[in-house]
Amino acid sequence: MKQLIKKLTETYGPSGNEHNIRKKIKEEIQDYVDELRVDNLGNLIAVKKGNGKKIMVAAHMDEVGLIVTSIDEKGFLRFSKVGGVSEFYLLGQRVIFENGIIATLGTEKLESMKELKMDKMFIDIGAKDKKEAEQMISIGDQACYYREFSDLNKRIIAKALDDRIGCCVLIQTIKDIGQSSNNEIYFVFTVQEEVGLRGAKTSAFSINPDIGIAVDVTATGDTPKAKTMAVELGKGPAIKIKDNSILCHPKVRNHLIQTAEKNNIPYQLEVLEFGGTDSGAISVTKEGIPSGVISIPCRYIHTPSEMIDYDDVLNATKLLTEALISFE
Q: Which range touches Zn ion (CB under 5 A), out of 8-16, 83-91, 131-139, 216-224?
A: 216-224
Residues 284-303 that bind Co ion (CB under 5 A): none
Residue 195 beta carbon to Zn ion: minimum distance, rounded to whole angstroms:
11
- Residue, CB closest to Co ion: 162
How far does CA 17 lie from the centroid of its chain? Answer: 14
**Closer residue to Co ion (CB): 162 or 184:** 162
Residue 194: CB minimum distance to Co ion, A: 5
Q: Is 216 in the site for Zn ion (CB under 5 A)?
A: yes
Helical H segments across 194-309, by residue range: 198-207, 250-262, 278-283
89 Ramachandran zone, left/alpha/beta (phi>0; psi -120 to 50): alpha
Using DSSP bridges, classify how beta strands 238-243 and 268-271 pair: parallel, antiparallel or unpaired: parallel
Residues shown for the chain: 328
Interacting stretch for Zn ion, rule CB under 5 A, among 162-170, 177-185, 267-275, 291-299? Answer: 162-170
Q: Is 193 a catalytic residue?
A: yes
Q: Which is nearer to Zn ion, 163 or 312 (CB)?
A: 163
Q: Per-residue DSSP letters for 145-208?
A: E----EEETTEEEETTHHHHHHHHHHHHHHHHHTT---SEEEEEEES--TTTSHHHHHHHHHH-
Taking the complex as a whole, how short is the minimal distance between the CB of residue 15 and Co ion, in angstroms? 10
Which range binds Co ion by CB under 5 A, 5-13, 74-82, 158-166, 234-242? 158-166
Question: What are the angstrom distances between the C-alpha of 290 and each of 211, 212, 217, 230, 287?
Answer: 5, 6, 20, 24, 10
Q: In a 3-state reduction of DSSP, which class is residue 59?
A: strand
- Is the Cβ of residue 71 or residue 85 nearer to Zn ion in the bound state? 85
Q: Tell the smallest beta-carbon distance from residue 164 to Zn ion (Å).
A: 9
Residue 140: CB minimum distance to Co ion, A: 22
Residues binding Co ion: number (CB under 5 A): 1
Candidate segments 3-11, 33-41, 155-163, 305-313, binder of Co ion by CB under 5 A: 155-163
d(C-alpha 149, C-alpha 167), whole Å: 16
- Termini Cα distance of the chain: 29
Q: Residue 112 — φ and ψ, nearest 5°? A: -150, 155
Least distance (Å) between residue 199 CB and Zn ion:
12
- Residue 224's contacts (CB-CB under 8 Å, 6 or more residues apart) are none
Closer CB to Co ion, residue 162 or residue 312? 162
Q: Concatenated DSSP letters for 71-128?
A: E-TTSPEEEEEESS--GGGTTT-EEEETTS-EEEEEE---SSGGG--GGGEEEE---S
| Candidate residues 28, 163, 243, 270; the one interacting with Zn ion per rule CB under 5 A | 163
Residues 327 and 255 sit within 8 Å (Cβ to Cβ): yes
Contact partner, 216, from Zn ion, Co ion, none, Cβ < 5-8 Å per class: Zn ion
What's the min distance (Å) between Cβ of 70 and Zn ion? 29
Span interacting with Co ion, options 15-23, 133-141, 159-167, 263-271, rule CB under 5 A: 159-167
Question: For Co ion, which is the closer residue by CB, 177 or 188?
Answer: 188
* Residue 248 to residues 40, 89, 109, Cα–Cα distance (Å): 28, 31, 46
Partner in contact with 278, chosen from Zn ion, Co ion, none, beta carbon below 5 to 8 Å by kind? none
Q: Does 162 bind Zn ion (CB under 5 A)?
A: yes
Catalytic residue among 184, 193, 306, 322: 193
Q: Which of 28, 62, 141, 162 binds Co ion (CB under 5 A)?
A: 162
Residues that bind Zn ion (CB under 5 A): 162-163, 216
Residues acting as catalytic residues = 193
Residues that bind Co ion (CB under 5 A): 162
